[in-house]
Amino acid sequence: MSERSFGLQAPPSLGVLGKKRYAMVIDLRRCIGCMACVLADKAEFEVPLGVWRTWVQYEEYGTYPNVRRQFLSRLCNHCDDPPCVKACPVQATYKHEDGFVLQRYERCIGCRTCMVACPYNARHILPAKRSNPNLPTKVVDKCTFCFHRVTQGLVPACAQTCIGRVRIFGDINDPKSEVRKLIDTNPTVVLKPEKGTKPQVYYILANRSGLEPAKVFKNLSAQQKEDLKDHQEHFENYVGR
Protein backbone atom coordinates (compact mmCIF):
# COMPACT_ATOMS: atom_id res chain seq x y z
CA MET A 1 0.00 0.00 0.00
CA SER A 2 1.11 3.51 -0.69
CA GLU A 3 2.36 5.64 2.14
CA ARG A 4 1.80 8.73 0.02
CA SER A 5 -1.54 10.27 0.79
CA PHE A 6 -2.35 13.94 0.47
CA GLY A 7 -5.27 16.20 1.21
CA LEU A 8 -8.51 14.93 -0.18
CA GLN A 9 -7.07 11.72 -1.36
CA ALA A 10 -8.75 8.88 0.48
CA PRO A 11 -6.11 6.35 1.56
CA PRO A 12 -5.41 3.66 -1.02
CA SER A 13 -7.89 0.85 -0.43
CA LEU A 14 -6.53 -1.78 -2.79
CA GLY A 15 -6.33 -5.03 -0.83
CA VAL A 16 -7.54 -3.46 2.42
CA LEU A 17 -9.93 -5.78 4.24
CA GLY A 18 -13.37 -4.36 4.82
CA LYS A 19 -12.87 -1.64 2.22
CA LYS A 20 -14.28 -1.46 -1.27
CA ARG A 21 -12.02 -0.75 -4.20
CA TYR A 22 -13.92 -0.54 -7.46
CA ALA A 23 -11.95 -1.42 -10.55
CA MET A 24 -12.47 -2.43 -14.17
CA VAL A 25 -11.06 -5.27 -16.22
CA ILE A 26 -10.98 -4.74 -19.99
CA ASP A 27 -10.66 -8.07 -21.76
CA LEU A 28 -9.28 -7.09 -25.15
CA ARG A 29 -9.54 -10.67 -26.42
CA ARG A 30 -13.26 -9.98 -26.73
CA CYS A 31 -13.20 -6.39 -28.05
CA ILE A 32 -14.48 -5.95 -31.64
CA GLY A 33 -14.06 -2.17 -31.72
CA CYS A 34 -17.77 -1.39 -32.09
CA MET A 35 -17.37 1.78 -29.97
CA ALA A 36 -20.66 1.11 -28.21
CA CYS A 37 -18.93 2.01 -24.92
CA VAL A 38 -18.02 5.41 -26.35
CA LEU A 39 -21.58 6.04 -27.49
CA ALA A 40 -23.10 4.83 -24.23
CA ASP A 41 -20.91 7.29 -22.40
CA LYS A 42 -21.77 10.12 -24.77
CA ALA A 43 -25.47 9.40 -24.25
CA GLU A 44 -25.27 8.94 -20.48
CA PHE A 45 -23.47 12.22 -19.85
CA GLU A 46 -24.19 14.29 -22.98
CA VAL A 47 -20.45 14.37 -23.59
CA PRO A 48 -19.82 17.20 -26.11
CA LEU A 49 -18.29 16.76 -29.53
CA GLY A 50 -14.48 16.69 -29.62
CA VAL A 51 -13.98 15.37 -26.09
CA TRP A 52 -14.37 11.92 -24.59
CA ARG A 53 -14.79 10.23 -21.22
CA THR A 54 -13.88 6.98 -22.87
CA TRP A 55 -12.44 6.25 -26.29
CA VAL A 56 -11.02 3.38 -28.30
CA GLN A 57 -7.68 3.52 -30.08
CA TYR A 58 -6.78 0.93 -32.63
CA GLU A 59 -3.66 -0.14 -34.37
CA GLU A 60 -3.14 -2.33 -37.39
CA TYR A 61 0.02 -4.34 -37.64
CA GLY A 62 1.60 -7.02 -39.76
CA THR A 63 2.13 -7.32 -43.51
CA TYR A 64 -0.67 -8.29 -45.88
CA PRO A 65 -2.17 -10.91 -45.77
CA ASN A 66 -0.98 -11.53 -42.20
CA VAL A 67 -2.49 -8.44 -40.62
CA ARG A 68 -4.21 -7.85 -37.36
CA ARG A 69 -6.13 -5.02 -35.70
CA GLN A 70 -5.71 -4.47 -31.99
CA PHE A 71 -7.97 -2.23 -29.89
CA LEU A 72 -7.30 -0.38 -26.70
CA SER A 73 -10.23 1.02 -24.76
CA ARG A 74 -9.29 4.01 -22.69
CA LEU A 75 -10.89 5.80 -19.77
CA CYS A 76 -9.95 7.31 -16.41
CA ASN A 77 -7.93 4.75 -14.50
CA HIS A 78 -9.39 5.84 -11.14
CA CYS A 79 -5.92 5.54 -9.69
CA ASP A 80 -5.34 4.48 -6.12
CA ASP A 81 -2.82 7.32 -5.88
CA PRO A 82 -4.27 9.85 -8.36
CA PRO A 83 -1.91 12.69 -9.34
CA CYS A 84 -4.83 14.87 -10.47
CA VAL A 85 -6.15 15.07 -6.91
CA LYS A 86 -2.79 16.20 -5.55
CA ALA A 87 -2.43 18.81 -8.30
CA CYS A 88 -5.80 20.57 -7.93
CA PRO A 89 -5.32 23.85 -6.03
CA VAL A 90 -8.94 24.27 -4.92
CA GLN A 91 -10.04 20.75 -3.93
CA ALA A 92 -12.24 20.46 -7.02
CA THR A 93 -11.25 16.86 -7.55
CA TYR A 94 -11.12 14.20 -4.90
CA LYS A 95 -10.88 10.48 -4.37
CA HIS A 96 -13.89 8.70 -2.89
CA GLU A 97 -13.11 6.07 -0.26
CA ASP A 98 -14.47 3.34 -2.57
CA GLY A 99 -11.93 4.33 -5.21
CA PHE A 100 -13.86 6.67 -7.52
CA VAL A 101 -11.97 9.79 -8.58
CA LEU A 102 -14.61 12.49 -8.90
CA GLN A 103 -14.95 16.12 -9.92
CA ARG A 104 -16.79 18.96 -8.18
CA TYR A 105 -17.81 21.32 -10.98
CA GLU A 106 -18.83 24.13 -8.65
CA ARG A 107 -15.27 24.39 -7.33
CA CYS A 108 -13.31 24.03 -10.57
CA ILE A 109 -11.57 27.23 -11.64
CA GLY A 110 -10.43 25.87 -15.02
CA CYS A 111 -6.68 26.06 -14.39
CA ARG A 112 -6.31 22.65 -16.13
CA THR A 113 -3.60 21.49 -13.73
CA CYS A 114 -5.39 18.17 -13.30
CA MET A 115 -5.33 17.68 -17.09
CA VAL A 116 -1.60 18.30 -17.05
CA ALA A 117 -1.11 15.95 -14.09
CA CYS A 118 -3.01 13.00 -15.57
CA PRO A 119 -0.61 10.66 -17.40
CA TYR A 120 -3.58 9.07 -19.22
CA ASN A 121 -5.20 12.20 -20.70
CA ALA A 122 -8.43 11.17 -19.08
CA ARG A 123 -9.66 14.70 -18.42
CA HIS A 124 -11.13 17.33 -20.68
CA ILE A 125 -12.55 20.83 -20.57
CA LEU A 126 -16.25 21.29 -21.19
CA PRO A 127 -17.18 23.83 -23.88
CA ALA A 128 -18.71 27.24 -23.29
CA LYS A 129 -22.00 26.20 -24.92
CA ARG A 130 -23.91 23.00 -24.18
CA SER A 131 -27.07 21.65 -25.77
CA ASN A 132 -28.59 21.47 -22.30
CA PRO A 133 -28.12 24.81 -20.48
CA ASN A 134 -28.33 23.08 -17.10
CA LEU A 135 -25.09 21.18 -17.72
CA PRO A 136 -21.76 22.56 -16.49
CA THR A 137 -19.60 24.59 -18.87
CA LYS A 138 -15.93 25.62 -19.03
CA VAL A 139 -14.84 23.35 -16.21
CA VAL A 140 -12.89 20.10 -16.25
CA ASP A 141 -14.80 16.87 -16.59
CA LYS A 142 -13.89 13.19 -16.52
CA CYS A 143 -15.17 9.62 -16.30
CA THR A 144 -16.79 8.90 -12.92
CA PHE A 145 -16.97 5.10 -13.26
CA CYS A 146 -20.69 6.01 -13.38
CA PHE A 147 -20.75 6.73 -9.67
CA HIS A 148 -24.46 7.62 -9.92
CA ARG A 149 -25.28 4.19 -11.35
CA VAL A 150 -22.96 2.16 -9.11
CA THR A 151 -24.47 3.66 -5.97
CA GLN A 152 -27.85 2.44 -7.29
CA GLY A 153 -26.55 -1.11 -7.68
CA LEU A 154 -25.94 -0.85 -11.44
CA VAL A 155 -22.74 -1.21 -13.43
CA PRO A 156 -21.26 1.71 -15.44
CA ALA A 157 -23.03 2.54 -18.72
CA CYS A 158 -20.06 1.41 -20.83
CA ALA A 159 -19.96 -1.99 -19.12
CA GLN A 160 -23.74 -2.33 -19.37
CA THR A 161 -23.77 -1.69 -23.12
CA CYS A 162 -20.68 -3.67 -24.15
CA ILE A 163 -21.89 -6.46 -26.43
CA GLY A 164 -18.79 -8.61 -25.98
CA ARG A 165 -18.66 -8.27 -22.18
CA VAL A 166 -15.24 -6.74 -22.58
CA ARG A 167 -15.63 -4.36 -19.69
CA ILE A 168 -16.12 -6.00 -16.34
CA PHE A 169 -16.67 -3.80 -13.32
CA GLY A 170 -16.66 -4.64 -9.64
CA ASP A 171 -15.01 -4.56 -6.25
CA ILE A 172 -11.48 -5.86 -6.61
CA ASN A 173 -11.22 -6.37 -2.85
CA ASP A 174 -14.09 -8.89 -2.95
CA PRO A 175 -12.59 -12.35 -3.62
CA LYS A 176 -15.88 -13.51 -5.12
CA SER A 177 -16.19 -10.66 -7.60
CA GLU A 178 -15.73 -11.28 -11.33
CA VAL A 179 -13.00 -8.62 -11.61
CA ARG A 180 -11.02 -10.30 -8.84
CA LYS A 181 -11.35 -13.71 -10.47
CA LEU A 182 -10.33 -12.38 -13.89
CA ILE A 183 -7.27 -10.68 -12.46
CA ASP A 184 -6.32 -13.78 -10.48
CA THR A 185 -6.65 -16.14 -13.45
CA ASN A 186 -5.29 -14.03 -16.34
CA PRO A 187 -2.12 -12.07 -16.98
CA THR A 188 -3.12 -8.41 -16.87
CA VAL A 189 -1.37 -5.11 -17.43
CA VAL A 190 -2.10 -1.56 -16.40
CA LEU A 191 -1.12 1.55 -18.35
CA LYS A 192 2.04 3.38 -17.33
CA PRO A 193 2.59 1.58 -14.01
CA GLU A 194 5.97 3.30 -13.72
CA LYS A 195 4.25 6.63 -13.01
CA GLY A 196 3.33 5.41 -9.54
CA THR A 197 -0.37 6.17 -9.88
CA LYS A 198 -1.63 2.63 -9.17
CA PRO A 199 -4.19 2.61 -11.98
CA GLN A 200 -7.27 0.48 -11.44
CA VAL A 201 -8.16 -0.40 -15.02
CA TYR A 202 -6.65 -3.78 -15.84
CA TYR A 203 -6.18 -4.97 -19.39
CA ILE A 204 -6.09 -8.53 -20.63
CA LEU A 205 -4.07 -8.90 -23.86
CA ALA A 206 -3.28 -5.22 -24.28
CA ASN A 207 -0.74 -4.47 -26.95
CA ARG A 208 0.89 -1.92 -24.70
CA SER A 209 4.09 -1.53 -26.62
CA GLY A 210 2.17 -0.61 -29.74
CA LEU A 211 0.16 2.09 -28.05
CA GLU A 212 2.85 3.96 -26.23
CA PRO A 213 2.47 7.70 -26.94
CA ALA A 214 5.84 8.10 -28.62
CA LYS A 215 5.03 5.35 -31.09
CA VAL A 216 1.58 6.76 -31.80
CA PHE A 217 3.09 10.20 -32.45
CA LYS A 218 5.73 8.82 -34.79
CA ASN A 219 3.21 6.86 -36.82
CA LEU A 220 0.72 9.68 -37.40
CA SER A 221 -0.15 10.20 -41.05
CA ALA A 222 0.20 13.64 -42.67
CA GLN A 223 -3.58 14.07 -42.52
CA GLN A 224 -3.65 13.15 -38.82
CA LYS A 225 -0.95 15.75 -38.14
CA GLU A 226 -3.05 18.40 -39.91
CA ASP A 227 -6.11 17.33 -37.92
CA LEU A 228 -4.09 17.61 -34.73
CA LYS A 229 -3.18 21.22 -35.50
CA ASP A 230 -6.81 22.10 -36.26
CA HIS A 231 -7.90 20.45 -33.03
CA GLN A 232 -5.53 22.60 -30.97
CA GLU A 233 -6.51 25.83 -32.76
CA HIS A 234 -10.17 25.01 -32.14
CA PHE A 235 -9.58 24.93 -28.37
CA GLU A 236 -9.64 28.69 -27.74
CA ASN A 237 -13.05 29.12 -29.41
CA TYR A 238 -14.30 25.96 -27.83
CA VAL A 239 -13.87 27.23 -24.27
CA GLY A 240 -15.31 30.60 -25.26
CA ARG A 241 -12.22 32.78 -24.99
- Based on CB atoms, which residue is closest to another protein, 90 or 189? 90
Distance CA 148, CA 167 (A): 18
Compose the 155-194 pattern: x for residues touching another protein by CB under 8 A, - for all others: -------------------------------------x--
122-141: contacts with another protein (CB under 8 A): 124-125, 138-139
Q: Would you give the DSSP letter of residue 120?
A: T
Contact at 8 Å (CB) between 70 and 62?
no
- 76 contacts another protein (rule: CB under 8 A): no
- 117 contacts another protein (rule: CB under 8 A): yes
Contact at 8 Å (CB) between 200 and 22?
yes
Tell me whether strands 93-95 and 101-103 are parallel, antiparallel or unpaired: antiparallel
Tell me whether strands 123-125 and 101-103 are parallel, antiparallel or unpaired: unpaired
Question: Among 16, 208, 231, 237, which residue sits at the site for another protein (rule: CB under 8 A)?
Answer: 231
What residues contact 87, with CB distance under 8 A and at least 6 apart? 113, 114, 116, 117
Question: Among 34, 36, 205, 211, which residue sits at the site for another protein (rule: CB under 8 A)?
Answer: 211
Q: Using CB under 8 A, which of the segments 14-22, 41-49, 162-170, 220-228 binds another protein? A: 220-228
Return the sign of the alpha-carbon dihedral for residues 99, 103, 109, 114: positive
List residues near another protein by CB under 8 A: 6-8, 52, 55-63, 69, 74, 83, 86-91, 107-113, 115-121, 124-125, 138-139, 192, 195-196, 210-221, 224, 227-228, 231-232, 235, 239-241
